[in-house]
Structure formats: C-alpha cells, structure tokens
C-alpha cells in the first residue's frame, strides 16, 4: 500500500514534471498524476484513490501556485469514487479504463472549475471546457490507453515468468 502510494505520488509527480513539457501539444498537456491515481485506484480501492489523489493534487496545487486544495479535493474525490466504483464498473477492462478516464478528467475539470468559480475565477465556462478540459480529457484517454497496454503487458509477462 505504502509503496504503491509513494509510487503514485512520486511517480506521477515525476512524470508530470519531466514528461509533460515534452508531451505538450498545442498547449494541451495530459494530467499524468490523475491518470496514475485513476488507474491505481481501480486496482487498489477507494482509500488508496482518496489519499493518492489528495497528495498528488496538493503537489500540483503547490507546483502551479494556484488555489491550494482545489486539485487536492477534486483528485481525492475522483480517486475515491473510481476506487469505490471500480469493482462494479468492470474497472479492469482496458476499454472501461480508457473511456472512464476521459469521463473522469471531464468530471474533475468540471469540479475544479466549480470550486474555482467560488473564488471568482474569471474565465467563462465554455472556454475552459473547450480549450482546457475537453482536450485534456481526450489526451488523458490516449495516454491512458498506452499506459493500460503497458500494464497489461507487464502483468502478463510477470504471470508468464512466475
């Protein structure tokens, strides 16, 4: 649990810091900590998803210099919900994971926007959705597909080896 948590937080943060600048396309970048939180919460459950989402969100809030607690809250909620619903949603299915991640990114963006609006965030809803949330959701889905494929391959390799 602790190892996986540390891996999620550090690995996600590390990937976000190192890979995202290289992966940026037309000013849209994937939210790698969110992807990692979702994919691991599906396997580890709601508690793991909640704590890892909170930690990853706090780090992102601190890194971006925005409102502290916004991403921590949205990611913790997303992690918890997906962790709790994972069993019912056949969360181990790659297609569910990828499509679910697209949807969750959208939901997380929506939640983040709502929270920030409470603090007089100036940008209009349509613009944020069109230029930030939706492209990132699609990008996350694409990255998630690659990660899911890598995880499936790793697990099958491990099973074959054992």
**CB closer to other proteins, 118 vs 161:** 118
| Site stretch for other proteins (CB under 8 A), options 24-32, 42-50, 126-134, 137-145 | 42-50
Contact 107, 137 (CB under 8 A): no
Q: Does 80 bind other proteins (CB under 8 A)?
A: yes
Size of the site for other proteins (CB under 8 A): 29
Residue 158 in tokens: 């491990």
> Considering only CA atoms, which of 31, 69, 72 is closest in space to residue 52?
72
Tell me the helix, strand and coil percentages in the chain, rounded to 5. Answer: 80, 0, 20
Which residue ranges make up the site for other proteins (CB under 8 A)?
9-10, 13-14, 17-18, 45-47, 50-51, 54, 58-59, 62-63, 67-70, 72-73, 76-77, 80, 84, 115, 118-119
């Amino acid at each position: 649990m602790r190892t996986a948590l540390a891996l999620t937080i550090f690995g996600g943060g590390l990937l976000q810091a190192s890979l995202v600048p290289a992966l940026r396309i037309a000013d849209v970048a994937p939210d790698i900590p969110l992807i990692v939180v979702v994919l691991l919460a599906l396997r580890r459950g709601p508690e793991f998803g909640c704590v890892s989402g909170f930690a990853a969100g706090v780090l992102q809030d601190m890194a971006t210099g925005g409102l502290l607690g916004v991403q921590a809250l949205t990611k913790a909620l997303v992690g918890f919900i997906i962790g709790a619903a994972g069993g019912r949603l056949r969360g181990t299915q790659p297609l569910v994971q990828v499509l679910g991640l697209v949807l969750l990114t959208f939901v997380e963006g929506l939640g983040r926007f709502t929270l920030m609006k409470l603090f007089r965030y100036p940008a209009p809803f349509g613009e944020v959705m069109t230029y930030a949330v939706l492209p990132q959701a699609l990008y996350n889905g694409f990255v998630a597909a690659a990660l899911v494929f890598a995880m499936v391959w790793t697990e099958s390799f491990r099973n074959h080896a054992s």
